[in-house]
Structure 1
Amino acid sequence: MLLKRGHMDTNIHANSIEADTTETQQYNSLPSKEQTSSVVTSAVVKDGTESYPADVPSVPIKTIEQTIAGSSWMGWFDALKQVFPVYLGTHLAFFVISCLAVLFTIKDFSGQVFPLYTIWHTWDRWDTTLFTTIAQYGYTNLSRTALFPLYPLLERGLMHLTHGNAFLAGLIISNLAGLGIFIVLYRLVTDDFNAEQAARTVLYLALFPTAFYLASGYNESLFIFFSICVFYNVRRGHWWLAGLFGLLASLTRSAGILLFVPFYYEYLRQHEFQLKRIRLNVLAGMLIPFGLALFAAWCYHQYHDPLAFSHAQKFWNRYMAFPGFGILRSMYVIERSGGLLSFNALRNLTDLLPDLFILLFIFLSFVGPWCLP
């Protein structure tokens, strides 16, 4: 910086004293020469010139970057330590329930003995069987396209490590994804609130009545993992990484395309809803529907119908309806079943009660002293 002479001489003298004081304070707070491999000197203005004391070290840039990277990895490790007891506890509970479930398949005082693999085969039901069939044989008919491909593809890839057992591969994928959900959710809530609320959030998720899906051979845990990764990365401004996780989510379940909405809302919010601040990374959100588009392209190639996955819903008694129609329909079936202790009534109650439970807690999230901030 060039300084004019004349009436500025007094200011120069004052600035030099102030600069000397600042440099002394900085020097006392910096590491010694032995703690750093490089030295970057600072300028002190005296008599209109700049001098560079060689004995004033500063922290190297590489050291700062390594510190940031180290703290980031330590954050993930700390999250793992915090959530693993909850994860382990829920899985021990699932194990006990799986053992006791055998009691419902045998008569009282029966001498029948089941092999040990019965414990995990109690989880091989319904969609689990469909996913393992797709993993082994592919989409052999149109009805199977109702199930999106990423989960069975991962099962097929892992079958090489499980000696061809697709069911075991699915359990490994689901349970690892479930652990990933706990870890990323803990980090996400910690960033926005604090560690105490993050721990409670993970605990409430683990205790939720439908949390057993996170341990079963379904694609729910994988889908939720990718979805939470989208939210975590958009909050940190990692747009392309968030878009990639969104692509994987929409390749796991069709509902993944809805992540398009929170992605762009958060993008605009962080850019203060000003169009002039939008950059090229806004295109990262277009990756989210690309996963569904890939499956649609495959369906067109295989069945000459890009919406085969939607048209296949008719094979599973599913059709478009207004929001809440399923709840009203369940109530109607229960009322017409002739008694609460009938099969139709109890079967529909098992579907209805979790839905009402979810709606209640969503309502309580916005009303009362316990509402979200």
Structure 2
Amino acid sequence: MTDLATRPAPPLLRRAAPALLGYAAVRALGVVVLTLWSAARDKSALTLLSARWDALWYTRVAELGYGYEVRLPNGDVHSNLAFFPLLPWLERGVSAVTPLSYAHAGLAVGTLASLGAAWGIFAVVDLVYGRRAGVCAVLLWAVLPVGIVQSMAYTEALFTALAAWSLYAVLTGRWVTAGALAALAGLTRPVGLAVVAAVWTAAITSYVRQRPHA
């Protein structure tokens, strides 16, 4: 195990630089490929990344709040209550202080979160297995077949960033930070509840182990 637990943020960021640069290169290549594919089909890559599928539901939550429903021809009803609020809140916040639309704000949040997630993955793996393993873990995450969602206005990157840094906080004994990040993960996706449960389990286990025995 390295001494990352006591290393301040700037050195930690410099240590992660190769992983982050490699991640950014892989994801940039993916966006270039998507752009070329979209252009060949007379589609907008920006629209595909920021305003399609689930991204539309999140922007509608940001714009209209909860309670929006879509009734399909077969009678099925889809409600935006299925989508968790953290990303729409961030879209509102970013759009309020920038000229970006909700959709483009979501894309900006997703892009920044993907870098934060890559950094968090590196930090955890580096702490446990060393720098080379950390770089490899980040690159493997970058080249996942579904990795394009990391470049979209989706919650995958945001959730991964919160979960990874929550785990790093647990490993370095920062329990308040771990709990706060886990709570935010729980506001991002349903699986965030598993992060909350894991942090509570780790905290209780640590407390029991450290409590002096009678």
Shorter chain as denominator, the TM-score bin is 0.7 to 0.9
Deviation at 1:140, TM superposition (A): 3.6
Deviation at 1:269, TM superposition (A): 4.7
Contact 1:158 1:169 in 2 (8 A): yes
- 1:139 maps to which residue? 66
Higher helix share goes to which structure? 2
Residues 178/277 of structure 1: CA separation in 2 closer, same or farther (3 Å cut) = farther
Unaligned runs of 5+ in 1: 1-67, 107-113, 279-373
Deviation at 1:277, TM superposition (A): 4.8
Contact 1:182 1:202 in 2 (8 A): yes
Contact 2:31 2:151 in 1 (8 A): no
- Percent identity (aligned): 25
Q: Name which of 103, 122, 133 aligns with 1:167.
A: 103
How many residue pairs are counted as aligned between the two chains? 199
TM-score (norm 2): 0.83
- 2:170 maps to which residue? 234
- 2:158 maps to which residue? 222
* Distance in 1, Cα, partners of 2:80 & 2:117: 27
SS of the residue 1:139 aligns to = coil
Residues 160/274 of structure 1: CA separation in 2 closer, same or farther (3 Å cut) = closer
Please tell me whether Structure 1 or Structure 2 has the larger radius of gyration of its CA atoms: 1
* Distance in 1, Cα, partners of 2:164 & 2:19: 15
Question: What does residue range 92-107 of structure 1 map to in structure 2 within 5 Å?
Answer: 92-102=28-38, 105-106=41-42
**Root-mean-square deviation over aligned CA pairs:** 2.4
* Distance in 1, Cα, partners of 2:211 & 2:16: 40
Deviation at 1:79, TM superposition (A): 3.6
* Distance in 1, Cα, partners of 2:24 & 2:209: 46
Contact 2:182 2:195 in 1 (8 A): yes
- 1:337 maps to which residue? none
* Distance in 1, Cα, partners of 2:36 & 2:122: 32
Contact 2:19 2:134 in 1 (8 A): no
Deviation at 1:161, TM superposition (A): 3.6
Q: Does 1:151 align with 2:87?
A: yes
Higher relative contact order (CA 8 A, sep 6+): 2
Deviation at 1:83, TM superposition (A): 2.1
Q: Name which of 121, 146, 153 aligns with 2:47.
A: 121
* Distance in 1, Cα, partners of 2:118 & 2:132: 14
- 2:23 maps to which residue? 87
Deviation at 1:203, TM superposition (A): 0.8
Unaligned runs of 5+ in 2: 70-78
Q: Deviations over 1:234-259 (max 9, x none)?
A: 11111111010111011111221112
Deviation at 1:72, TM superposition (A): 1.3
Deviation at 1:73, TM superposition (A): 2.5
Q: Deviations over 1:170-225 (max 9, x none)?
A: 01101111100111111111111111111111111111111211110111111111
